[in-house]
Amino acid sequence: MITVENLVFSYTNKTFIENMSFHVAKGEIFGFLGPSGAGKTTLQKILTGLIVTYQGSAVLNGIECKAHKPSFYENIGVDFEYSTLYEKLSARQNLQFFGSLYAKPIRNIDGLLESVGLKNDGDKKVSDYSKGMRSTLNFIKALLHDPAILFLDEPTSGLDPTNSRIMKDLILHEKERGKTVLLTTHNMQDATELCDRVAFIVEGEVKALDTPHNLIMRKGAATVKYTFNDGAEHTAECPLTQTSEDSLLMQLLKSNRIRSIHSSEPTLNDIFMEVTGRTLK
């Protein structure tokens, strides 16, 4: 669905994206992960035809992005970091207006509002919407014309846990409907849960690209951490696969002297820190 080959781009006279290549298959949820300023939004802008001054190739649904025609936007839906809604119009009026810009028929507005719990607020002006309500409205705006490819820039940022769950379920539902989704997120748990594959972008370069599971497995084995008290509190750990070889652990288990015990699997957060050399801010 998307093929990027030898992509080169710079905002200034210094090259920012240098020879980037990757592809995204139809029906895939593909995540761009990486620290602030890494180039995730820049990449989305290139793929959505907003930046056309790149070299190399970025082909989306058979169309070279920089050579796109207006009909290009009939097939892509964009929910970027900053919401683009008319404050003085109600949610419903916004959706009606943006829907009227497409040549093809749009989805049922009431159904979309209902899917994100905004049905009773559909006639409220956007200026009276909360931050989370704006985010969800901006998201359904991207679904209006039932696009084949969705670009989501930090879709769950600023949402409460319930709304974040609703949003993630809707993203998964779009995948089930055969849509391709490209998303950026700073939330590694969301990325693990949602993405079929993720690309770690650091300073305009793809540093790692694989399924979250493969990346996590490459990091190594899970460990068991336990604490016990023999006059003073102690902590020890051993690999999960070698618990029976840990004589101290066996002894403590037999004598019921374990105070706490838990396994700790590597997460995408660990991979983030390893690949980018820094923690999430």
Ligand X SMILES: Nc1ncnc2c1ncn2[C@@H]1O[C@H](COP(=O)(O)OP(=O)(O)OP(=O)(O)O)[C@@H](O)[C@H]1O
Binding status of residue 185 toward Mg ion by CB under 5 A? no
Which position's Cβ is nearest Mg ion? 41
Q: Tell me which of ligand X, Mg ion, none is bound by residue 279, counting a contact when its beta carbon lies within the kind-specific cut-off of 5 to 8 angstroms.
A: none
How big is the chain by its Cα radius of gyration, in Å?
23
Check: CB of residue 128 under 8 Å from CB of residue 90: no
Contact, 107 vs 146, CB < 8 A? yes
- The string over 225-246, giving b where at least 16 C-beta atoms fall within 10 Å of a residue's C-beta and e elsewhere, is ebebeeeeeeeeebeeeeeeeb
Shortest reach from residue 281's CB to ligand X, in Å: 9
Residue 116 is a binding residue for ligand X (CB under 6 A): no
Among 7, 42, 48, 147, binds ligand X (CB under 6 A): 42
The token pair that represents 207 in the structure block: 């540093």
Instruction: Note whether 38 binds ligand X by CB under 6 A.
Output: yes
180 part of the interface to Mg ion, by CB under 5 A? no
Q: Of these partners, Mg ion, ligand X, none, which one is at the site of residue 29 (CB under 5 to 8 Å by kind)?
A: none
Q: Does 40 bind ligand X (CB under 6 A)?
A: yes
In 122-204 the beta strands, taken as DSSP E runs, fall at: 149-153, 180-184, 197-202
Of the candidate residues 13, 14, 36, 231, the single one contacting ligand X (CB under 6 A): 36
Shortest distance, position 81 Cβ to ligand X, whole Å: 6
Shortest separation between residue 138's beta carbon and ligand X, angstroms: 16
Query: Pick from Mg ion, ligand X, none: which does 42 bind, CB < 5 to 8 A by kind?
Result: ligand X
Return the closest-CA partner of residue 47 out of 19, 87, 77, 86.
77
DSSP for 87-129 reads TTSBHHHHHHHHHHT-SSPPPPHHHHHHHTT-GGGTTSBGGG-
| Binding positions for Mg ion, 15-54, rule CB under 5 A | 40-41
Percent helix, strand, coil in the chain (nearest 5)? 40, 30, 35
| Among the listed residues 11, 21, 26, 131, the single contact to ligand X using CB under 6 A | 11
Minimum Å gap between C-beta 56 and ligand X is 17
Residues near ligand X, by CB under 6 A: 11, 34, 36-42
